[in-house]
Structure 1
């Protein structure tokens, strides 16, 4: 019961009024008494947080926390792609013709997620990863590989919560949620990092408009609940190295181009 209540505070609901109220409480000092119980309920590793837990003034400040330097090992091999986030791998594999992606009992096509067929085209017959970030996870996202931003755009005017309630009641939540897509040009082809918000308004924060992508660098975070989808352009020598339902850490190698 306690974990369910806390989940509403950081993933919010599909109702704009309820979400606004929860957001107001979660971002204020009124939520400070909830910080330690939240940490205990989700067994958050307080030793890896940038600051002692007493430093955080609100539940949202804890949710968007940074980690201590060195808390994550970044695989720097030139032929690997790393997980951009901490999370659970709820989908992984090769993208087949007319494939749909099963996400929380709903199916979505590549075109729907990317917005238009032209944007989706480079990733057909490529590879995909779907990461679910629970309330317990570190909620910053990092570049999965070295490269350069060739396209950055937002889609969706309405966001539904990325949780079971929102996915039951929302109208195709992954294709209507506010989301930011960062497309990268890399030595192995294009890679798209799709950040899906879980609020009625944008909950995705970017640090800058720089086009330079350095593997492992932090380039933004989610203010509230979230999901990240990774699309990789088809390459004959690429192989995923992690399986479905794997708990992954940011910086961990999740695939490689065999040279």
Structure 2
């Protein structure tokens, strides 16, 4: 298998238990270390931003989950701003209408399917949402988009399909069955939910900060591999988005504002 095909397999691998186990074992092993530099070149990763030199990573997964140098991402400190929790591409955004179906790469999903329960999703009806896709080239840590208090954190699903353009065409309802970790914040602007959808392998969402206090811009976890984050905001008539669909965003960049 060529390196090109191997990297493609990392991105598109399904959540089959055996495949997932093999992937985890290989990428966490030093055997994968020779693939780090080719992986970096193939995805044109900005090595100048990395907290450590590339030769210090001992496995492909340690490189994929790399941290950045302090100061590489500037956090918008405006008290009324919502900032991007990740580096990624906006794959959908807008007002959540009553009974809305979210159309994502040839599939539709209702709000209750994403949260796993109609009662849990109800606070976000008539609110606002952003879908943020992380490609293999992106920094894969996620940060808090707003100050607040964690009022709930729960996991759903037990199978992860790849959350990318090809993977979202596989399976019946990928978001409904993918492993996902949902963090809900109580903020001065109402409730906010951060839905972290795992990809490639089962349970690929890693929480590093278990504090109940959310600080805007604070790193609180990462994805082991490819991923998508969905932000849901409770309804507030004075909220306005500051970016457009398909925009590329970075951690800390202001993506919305309460006026």
TM-score, length-scaled by structure 1: 0.95
> What is the correspondence of 1:217-228 to structure 2 with a 5 Å cutoff?
217-228=218-229
CA distance in 1, matches of 2:12, 2:53: 24
Work out the number of aligned pairs and report it.
258
- The answer as to 2:59 corresponding to 1:58 is yes
Q: Secondary structure at the match of 2:185?
A: strand
1:9 Cα deviation after fit: 2.1
Q: Deviations over 1:143-165 (max 9, x none)?
A: 00000011111111222221344
**Shift, 1:114, TM fit:** 0.9
What CA deviation, in whole Å up to 9, does each residue of 1:19-49 have, x standing for no partner? Answer: 3222222111111111111111111000000
Deviations 1:205-257 (A, max 9, x none): 11132110000000000011110000001101100111011010000000000
Measure, in 1, the Cα distance between the counterparts of 2:62 and 2:32: 10
Structure 2 partner of 1:158: 159
Alpha-carbon distance in structure 1 between the residues aligned to 2:4 and 2:44: 11
C-alpha deviations, 1:85-127, integer Å up to 9, x for none? Answer: 0000000111111111111221101010011111111110000
Q: CA deviation at 1:166?
A: 3.1
After TM superposition, the structure 1 stretch with the greater mean CA deviation from structure 2, 122-131 or 8-17, is 8-17
Q: How far apart are 1:198 and its partner, in Å?
A: 1.0
User: Is the 8 Å Cα contact of residues 14 and 170 (structure 1) preserved in structure 2?
Assistant: no
Gaps of 5+ in 2: none
SS at structure 2 position matched to 1:202: coil
Structure 2 equivalent of residue 254 of structure 1:
255
Partner of 1:106: 107
Secondary structure of residue in 2 paired with 1:66: coil
The Cα offsets for residues 41-72 of structure 1, whole Å up to 9 and x where unpaired, read as: 11100000000000111111110000000000
Distance 1:96 1:12 in 2: 34
CA distance in 2, matches of 1:169, 1:17: 18
Name the CA distance, whole Å, in 1 between partners of 2:192 and 2:240: 14
Residues 90 and 244 in structure 1, CA contact (< 8 A), matched pair in contact too: yes
Inter-partner Cα distance in structure 2 for 1:61 and 1:104: 30
TM-score normalised per structure 2: 0.95
Contact 1:3 1:42 in 2 (8 A): no
Mapping of 1:1-259 within 5 angstroms? 3=4, 5-10=6-11, 12-258=13-259
In 2, the alpha carbon distance for the partners of 1:217 and 1:88 equals 20
